Structure 1
Amino acid sequence: MNKKILSAISLITAPILILVLITTINISNIPNKIYINRDMPVSSIIPIASTLNKVVDTKNKYQVKLLGVIPIKCLEVEKVKDLEVYPGGNSIGVRVSTEGVLVVGYSDIEINNQTEESPGKLGGIELGDTILKVNGEEVQSCKDLINIIKKCNEANVKVEILRGNQNIVKEVELKREKEENYKLGLWIRDSTAGVGTMTFVDNESKKFGALGHPITDCDTNEPFLIKDGDLLESSIISLRKGEKGSPGELKGVFVNEKNPNGQIKNNTQSGIFGTVQNVDMVKDNSKPMKIGFRNEINEGKAKILTTIDESGPKEYEIEIVKLLDQQVPGPKSMVIKVTDPELLEKTGGIVQGMSGSPIIQNNKLVGAVTHVLINKPDTGYGIYIEWMLKDAEIIK
C-alpha cells in the first residue's frame, strides 16, 4: 500500500518539479531590461508558472515570482510607444579614422648586423593596443607617431595606450637602427574603409544603425576606437559566391566620396551609429516599419532585406532557427538560415558585405544579419534590433 502511495505521489510531483526547474531556468535567462511595445501587457514576457509584480515606488521595475510565491528575479520593463523606422537594406560605404593609432604588428630592429626584437614588444605593448600619447604628446595619426619618435633625444619614452577599456602607461626603450633615428618597432594603422549594409534610419532624428557588429581591424580583430567617420553611398560591382570553408563577398565602390551622406559617431558591439544628412537614401526604397522586440520574435519563417547587385534592396526568405539568450548587447542574438532559392543560387547564402541587412518578421523589423558560419554559408547569426536601437540612442 505504501509503495502505491509513494508511486502516486511521484507521478504527481515529478511533472511539477520538472515544470518548476524549466520555469526557473527560463526566468533566469530573461535579460535584466526588456523592451516591449506600449500596447502589449507586461505579463506576456514571462513564462507560465510565474507571476510579475511591480516593485513599489519604482517606475519600471518588476519582480518575477515562481508560482507566485518564490522571488526569482527583478527586471526593468521599458514600454516603447509607436516606434517606426525606415528599414535599410541598401549598400553603404564606411570610412573611419581611429582615436590614436592601432598596433597591428611588430617590426624587428637590425643593429650591428644582428636582428633584435621589437622595442615596443619588449616594452609590453601588445597587438590590438591603441597608442594615445608618447611622453605626454597626443598621437592622432601614424604620421604623428613617426614624427614624435623621430625627434626623441632620449631612448626611454613613456607610451600611453588604451587596452580594452583601461588606460595604461608603458616605459619603452627605443633603439637606433644603423645609426639612424630611434625606432619603436611597431606596425600601426589609423584608418580603415569598407562596404556594408544599412539597417535602419529614424526619420525624425536622422539617426542610423548599420552592420550589426563592430568594425574591427583585419589583423588584430580588435574593434576600432573611432575618432570620426564618413557614411558614403556605395554601389555593388561584383559578387563572390560563398562556399564551405570560403566565405563569399560583395565588392563595392564608393560613390561621390567628396560628399559623405552621414557621419559615423560610434562603433560598438552592436554596429556603427551616427546621423545621415539625407533620409531619402532609404526612403526611396522602403516605407516606415514597426519594431518587433525580442519577446515578439518567433523561431520560423522571416525575411531579410539586402542588396547583392545594382538593382538595389530586395527581400529574400530566411528561417530563424534559434533565439539565443543574451544579457548584454552582442552581434550573436539568433541563428538564421537562408532558404530563398534565388539568394542561395547567387550568393550561396550569407556573404561579407551583407552585415546589417534588416531581418523582418510579421511586417516588423526584428534584427539584422551579422555573421556567416564559414563551413555553412547558408547559416549565420543575427542581432536583436533592440540592441542597435539602444546604441543609436533611439531607445533608452
Structure 2
Amino acid sequence: MKSKYLSILTSFSIVIALTFFAATINVISLPDDIKISGSSTQINLRNNSLKNNLIYKIDSNSSEKNSKFKKDTLNISIKLFGIIPVKKMTLSIVPEFKVIPGGQPIGVKINMDGILVVGFSDIDTQNGWKQSPALTSGINIGDRIIEINGVKVNRCSELSSIINNNKDSVLKIKVINSEKTRIVDVKPVETKNKNEYKIGLWVRDSTAGVGTLTFYDDKNNIFGALGHPISDVDTMLILPISSGKIYNAKIVSVEQGVRGRPGELRGTFSMEDEIGDIEKNTSTGIYGKINSRVSKNIYNYAIPIALQNEIKEGPAKILTSIDGNEVKEYSIYIEKLTQQSKPNSKSMIIRVTDSELLRKTGGIVQGMSGSPIIQDGKLAGAVTHVFVNKPDMGYGIYIEWMLKEAGINF
C-alpha cells in the first residue's frame, strides 16, 4: 500500500513539474516588447491572458511617457510564485494609426539593377558548337552583371551592343552575387553568322505581372503591395530594382486552384494607366509612391491597423478582386498566429470560408497576394502564399511588417 501511495505521489509530482516547466517555457517565449494601439482593449499573446495566477505574479511600474516616440511604456516583470523573476517585458501603447486598405488589382513592372544571369548556352560557330565562354570564365547563374569595361549596364540590349562593339577583345565584366563583387574576364566568340559575337548567356533585365494593392497612406502618398518579394522565376532570387511602376489593372479570367496546382488571376493593364512608382522590392512586398488615383474600393477612407498582439484566431475578411477591378469582401478564418519579432511573410495561417470565392477560385490563387486582411474593422495583414496541396489555405503577413518596410512610423 505504501508503494502504491508513493507511486501516486511520484506521478503527481511529475505532472506538477511538467506543468510548471511548460508554463515557464510558454512565458519565456513571449516577446520582450509588445505594442498595442491606444484604442485597443485586448492583448493577444498566443491566446494567453496577462494576469496573476497561482504560478505567476505580474508586477508593473507606472506608465512612462517616451517623448521621442510619443508613446506610453509599461515595464512588466513576471515572477514564479511571486519570487523568482522569469521574464521582463515592455508594453508600449502607440497612437492609433490609419491607412486606406486596398484590394484592387495592379499591374507591376520593374527594371532590375543590373542584368541577371539565368542560364548558359553553347555558341554555334564556324567551327561547330563551342561551350559558353561566360560559363568557362566563372560567371554563375544568379550573378548580376553591373558593369562591362567600367561602363554601367542595366539592359540586355546594352550588353549585346558592348559585346559586338568589342568583338573578340577580352571583356572585364563586373558581377555581384550575395553582395560580393568580382571582375570576370570573358572573351566573346564569333557566331556562325559573321560579325555577330556572343558570350553564351541567357539574361533578364525586367519583369512584369499582376498582383494586389494592400494599402496606401493618402497623407504621405505611400503604398504597399503583394506582401512578398518579386523573385526571378528561374533563380528564385529577390530582384533588386533600379526603377518600377504600378498600374491600374483588370482581372480578365481565373484559373481555379486545385490540389497540387495553384490557380491564377489573369489580368491586363495599360502603361498609360500608371498610378505609382516602385522604390523598394523587399521580403515583405513592394513599396513606393502613389502619384495618381487608384481604382475605387469598398473602403475609400482610412481604417485603423491592428498590431500583431491585437489580432486573434477566428473569423476575418479579405478584400480582393476576381473580376474586372471590382473589389469585394470575402470571409476567411485565421487558423493560427505566429509570434514574431522581425518581418516575415508567413505570420499567420488563413483558410478561405467564403462559398462564392471557393466556387470561383478554389480558395487562394496567384495574383491574390497582397489582398488586405480585415478583422474587427482593422487592417490586420495581407495574403501572401497559398498551400499548393490545400488551395483553400495559405499564409498571411502582419500589416505592421509591411508598414515598417514602407518607412511608416507609428
Range class of TM-score, shorter chain: 0.7 to 0.9
Q: Alpha-carbon deviations, 1:337-382, whole Å to 9, x = none?
A: 1111111111111111111000111111111011111221111111
Instruction: Report if aligned partners of 1:212, 1:369 keep a CA contact under 8 Å in 2.
Output: yes
Aligned twin of 1:163 = 177
- Aligned match of 1:298: 312
Residue 224 of structure 2 corresponds to which residue in structure 1?
209
Distance across 1 between alignment mates of 2:75 and 2:42: 9
Matches within 5 A, 1:127-146: 127-146=141-160
- Give the Cα separation in 2 of the matches to 1:222 and 1:99: 13
Aligned position for 2:372: 358
In structure 2, distance between residues paired with 1:79 and 1:120: 56
SS at match of 2:272: coil
Q: 2 CA distance for matches of 1:71 and 1:140?
A: 57
How far residue 180 of structure 1 moved from its aligned partner, in angstroms, is 4.5
| 1:88 to 1:63, Cα distance in 2 relative to 1, 3 A | same
SS at match of 2:159: helix
For residues 1-396 of structure 1, what are the structure 2 equivalents within 5 Å? Answer: 4=5, 7-8=8-9, 11=12, 14-25=15-26, 27-28=28-29, 30=31, 34-40=34-40, 49=56, 51=58, 65=78, 67=80, 79-111=93-125, 113-152=127-166, 155-164=169-178, 166-178=179-191, 180=195, 182-255=197-270, 257-278=271-292, 281=295, 285-310=299-324, 312-395=326-409
> In the alignment, is the contact (CA less than 8 A) between 2:331 and 2:352 conserved in 1?
yes
Amino acid at match of 1:27: I
> Higher Cα Rg: structure 1 or 2?
2
Question: Do the aligned partners of residues 42 and 196 (structure 1) sit closer, same or farther apart at CA in structure 2, a change above 3 Å counting?
Answer: closer
Q: How far is 1:126 from its partner? A: 2.2
SS across alignment from 1:104: strand
1:371, 1:266 → 2: CA distance?
A: 20
**CA distance 1:223–1:76, shift in 2 (3 Å):** farther
- Compared with structure 1, are the counterparts of its residues 121 and 74 closer, same or farther at alpha carbon in structure 2 (3 Å cutoff)? farther
Contact conserved, 1:285 with 1:313, CA < 8 A, in 2? no
1: CA distance between counterparts of 2:248 and 2:289?
Answer: 14
- C-alpha separation between the residues in 2 aligned to 1:65 and 1:316? 40
Tell me, in whole angstroms, the C-alpha distance in 2 between the residues paired with 1:200 and 1:356.
9
Read off the aligned partner of 2:149 and give its amino acid letter: N
Structure 2: runs of 5 or more not aligned: 51-55, 67-72
Distance 1:43 1:238, change over 3 A: closer
Deviations 1:120-172 (A, max 9, x none): 223332222221112322112112222222233665433322323x1320423
CA distance in 2, matches of 1:315, 1:268: 27
TM-score normalized by structure 1?
A: 0.87
Distance, in Å, in 2 between the alignment partners of 1:199 and 1:25 is 33
CA-to-aligned-CA distance 1:274-327 (integer Å, 9 cap, x gap): 111235545674432111111111122111111000261111111111112434
Amino acid at match of 2:36: I
After TM superposition, the structure 1 stretch with the greater mean CA deviation from structure 2, 320-329 or 186-195, is 320-329
Any idea what SS the aligned residue of 2:326 has? coil
Q: TM-score under structure 2 normalisation?
A: 0.84
* Deviation (angstroms), 1:40: 4.9
Q: Is the 8 A contact 1:35 1:386 kept in 2?
A: no
1:65 deviates by 4.8
The one-letter amino acid paired with 2:16 is P
Distance 1:6 1:79, change over 3 A: same
List per-residue Cα deviations over 1:56-99 (Å, max 9, x = no partner): x9966967655266666676665431201111111111111111
Deviates more, 1:334-343 or 1:105-114: 105-114
Please give the alpha-carbon distance, in whole angstroms, between the structure 1 residues aligned to 2:99 and 2:358: 28
3-state DSSP class of the match of 2:166? Answer: coil
Q: Separation in 2 of the partners of 1:360 and 1:208?
A: 17
Q: Distance in 2 between matches of 1:175 and 1:76?
A: 61
Deviates more, 1:372-381 or 1:178-187: 178-187
Q: What is the root-mean-square deviation in Å for CA atoms of aligned residues?
A: 3.2
Judged with a 3 Å threshold, the aligned counterparts in structure 2 of structure 1 residues 358 and 9 are, in CA distance, closer, same or farther, namely same
Task: For residue 335 of structure 2, give the secondary structure of its aligned residue in structure 1.
Answer: strand
**Gap change, CA 1:65 and 1:284, over 3 Å in 2:** closer
Give 5+ residue unaligned stretches, structure 1.
none
Quote how far apart the aligned CAs of 1:218 are.
Answer: 1.8
Task: Answer with 302-311 or 39-48: which moved more.
Answer: 39-48
Q: Structure 1 stretch 7-16 or stretch 301-310: which is displaced more?
A: 7-16
Q: Partners in 1 of 2:195 and 2:148 — Cα distance?
A: 20
Is the alpha carbon distance of 1:76 and 1:133 closer, same or farther for their aligned partners in structure 2, counting shifts above 3 Å?
farther
User: Do the aligned residues in 1 keep the contact of 2:225 with 2:287 (CA within 8 Å)?
Assistant: yes
Instruction: Please report how far the alpha carbon of residue 112 of structure 1 lies from its aligned counterpart in structure 2 after TM superposition.
Output: 5.4
Contact 1:156 1:171 in 2 (8 A): no
Q: CA deviation at 1:177?
A: 3.0
CA change 1:16–1:152 in 2 (3 A) is same
- In the alignment, the residues of structure 1 paired with residue 197 and residue 84 of structure 2 have an alpha-carbon distance, to the nearest angstrom, of 67
Question: How many pairs does the alignment contain?
Answer: 393
